[in-house]
Amino acid sequence: MIEISDNLLMNSIYLSENLNTEEISAAQYIEKIRRTCISHLIIIFIKLSKLLQSLNLAQKTPN
């Protein structure tokens, strides 16, 4: 989980640096945004999966 978050942060920094230092085509910009969105969705999916697992375990344990 930490590795994914670190990679996402590095991608965001890389994207902002590229926008500040060099011109990129619209297609490249859209591709970078798409990759960032996919990374965010993966992180959300992992967090939701862990939450659902913990809720499922909580329901199985007797009070």
pLDDT digit of tens for each residue in the chain (63 aa)? 445 555 665 666 565 555 555 667 888 888 888 999 999 999 999 999 999 998 888 888 766
pLDDT for 19 equals: 55
pLDDT for 10 equals: 61
Question: Domain coordinates of the chain in residue numbers?
Answer: 2-18+25-60
pLDDT for 15 equals: 59
Geometric angle at alpha carbon 35, from 30 and 41, rounded to 5°? 125
CA distances from 31 to 43, 45, 54, 60 (A): 18, 21, 35, 43
Which DSSP helix (H) or strand (E) runs through 62?
none
Query: CB 24: neighbour CB atoms within 10 A?
Result: 14
